Amino acid sequence: MAIEHDVETTGLVGWIDRRFPLTSTWKKHVSEYYAPKNFNFWYFFGSLALLVLVNQIVTGIFLTMNYKPDATLAFSSVEYIMREVPWGWLIRYMHSTGASMFFVVVYLHMFRGLMYGSYRKPRELVWVFGCAIFLCLMAEAFFGYLLPWGQMSFWGAQVIVNLFSAIPFIGPDLSLWIRGDYVVSDVTLNRFFAFHVIAIPLVLIGLVVAHLVALHEVGSNNPDGIEIKAKKGPDGIPLDGIPFHPYYSVHDFMGVTVFLFIFAAIIFFAPEMGGYFLEANNFIPANPLQTPQEIAPVWYFTAFYAMLRATTDPFKIVLMIIVALLGLFALVRARGKWKLGLPVLAVLVVLAMAFTESKFWGVVVMGGAVISLFFLPWLDRSPVKSIRYRPFFHKVFYGIFVLAFLTLGFLGTKPPSPASTLIAQICALIYFAFFLGMPVWTRLGTFKQPPERVRFKPH
C-alpha cells in the first residue's frame, strides 16, 4: 500500500523532506497555522520575547569569548570588553539592555494574557509553561547579575543568597551549598557562570519550545476570547482564522521594527537608563570590605524585593490574622470532616509563623508572589475569558492590581522608610487578595455576551 507524504519531491528541499519533516513542520507551525484575524497591538510581545532571547544568546556567546570567570579577573575582563575588544562595548550594551527589555516584553506579554484570559481552558498548560519561563528568566538574570563582579553584583548576590539561610533547618546548609563557600567568592562566581551560560539557557530553550508546541496544539487566543476552531468552513479552515505566514509574520515585522528603534535608542543614548539598567555602583570593582550604602536589585526584581522588605514582625502578625480568618471561613463552609484540610492547614501555618522569624516569611511572600501566577487558570471562575465582556468593576480590580504591582516596583528601588514600608505592605496585601479572592469576585456582576464570531475590522 502506497503511503502519501506531504513533502516536496524534487530538488534539495525534496531530498531533505524525505529524511526530515522540514516542509510539514513549516506548514504546521507557520504557513498553515491559522491564527485569529483580530490580533491587536498586545500580540506583538510574544514574538518580541523570542527576538530578545535570540539576542541574549548570540551576544552572550560573544561576551564569553573574552570574559574571565575569575574573582581577580572578572571585572577587568568586562572593562577589557568595553574598551579594547572591537565593538565590545556594543555587544555588552546589547546584552545588558536586552536583559531589561526581555522583562519589559515578558511583563507586557503576561499582562495581555491576564486581560484576555489566555490562561483559560484549553490553554492552561501554555500558561504554566509561560510562568515556568518567567521563573527561569528570573534565575538566569540573578545568576548573570554576579558576573560583572562589581559592588552591586557582589553585595546583591550576598544578600539574596543569605535569604536562603532563613529557611528552617536546611537554610544555612542550603545557602552554603549555593555559594560554595562561606562568603560570595571565586567559587560562587564560577558556579554562577556555569548556570548562567549553560544550565539555565538549556532549560529556558526547552521551555520556550514546549510553550510554542502547546500553543500551536490548542491554537491562539484572541481579544474576544472566542475559540476560532469551533467554526470551520467546508475545507476545515477556521472561518475567523488567517495563516500566520505571511499575514502575521509581516504584522510582527512592523512590531520588531518599532522595538529595534527603541532598543537602539537606549543602547546608543542611555544604556544605563538612569541607573535602572546598569547601576553606578556596578562600575566599581567588588570590595568585600566595603558595603554599599543601599543594596537593591535591578528594577525587574524590585516589586518582589519590596514585598520581602515589607514583611516585618508587625506585618507577620497581620498575615497570621488573615490566615486564621481564611481558615475560619473554610471551617464554616466545610460540611464534612473530609473538607477540614484547609482549616487544619491554616492552623499549622499560623503556628509555624508564630515560631519562625519574619525574614523567612518574607522569602515565602516573595516566592508566593511568583508561584501564585501558576494557579491563575484554576482561580479565575469567570464565565467569559476576555476583559471586554466582564463587568466594569472587574476592570477596576485589574487596574488596582497593576497599580499595586507598579508601586511595589517603585518602592523597591528606594531606601526603606516607615511610610514606604506601610505602602508596600498594603500593596502586597492587594496583590495576594487579587489572586485569593478570584474564585469569588470573578463570578460576580453582569457579563456581556461574547459574539459568536470574532470582531474584526480590516485595515
Q: Are 35 and 244 in contact (CB under 8 A)?
A: yes
Phi, psi of 238 (to 5 degrees): -55, 135
Measured in whole angstroms, how far is the alpha carbon of residue 290 from the centre of its chain?
Answer: 33
> Is 459 one of the annotated binding-site residues?
no
User: What letter would DSSP give residue 415?
Assistant: -
109 marked ligand binding residue: yes
Buried/exposed code over 351-365 (b: 16+ C-beta within 10 A; e: otherwise): eebeeeebbbbbbbb
Grid cell for residue 166: 532563613
Q: Are 442 and 385 in contact (CB under 8 A)?
A: no
Q: Is 29 annotated as a binding residue?
A: no
Q: Which residues pair with 34 in a beta bridge?
A: 243
The reply, when asked if residue 251 is annotated as ligand binding, is: no
Residue 258: how many other CB atoms lie within 10 Å: 11
Burial group, residue 341, by CB count within 10 angstroms (0-12, 13-18, 19+): exposed
Q: Which residues have C-beta within 8 Å of that of residue 147, sequence separation ≥ 6? A: 67, 69, 74, 78, 153, 189, 192, 193, 196
Residue labelled with grid coordinates 548556570: 195
Distance CA 42, CA 113 (A): 9
Q: How far is CA 307 from the centre of its chain?
A: 17
211 is in an annotated binding site: yes
CB 128 within 8 A of CB 373: no
How many CB atoms are located within 10 Å of the residue 227 CB?
Answer: 18
Distance CA 378, CA 369 (A): 16
> Which residues make up each annotated binding site for heme b?
95, 109, 196, 211
- Residues contributing to the annotated binding site for a ubiquinone: 216
Q: Can you say which residues are annotated as belonging to the binding site?
A: 95, 109, 196, 211, 216
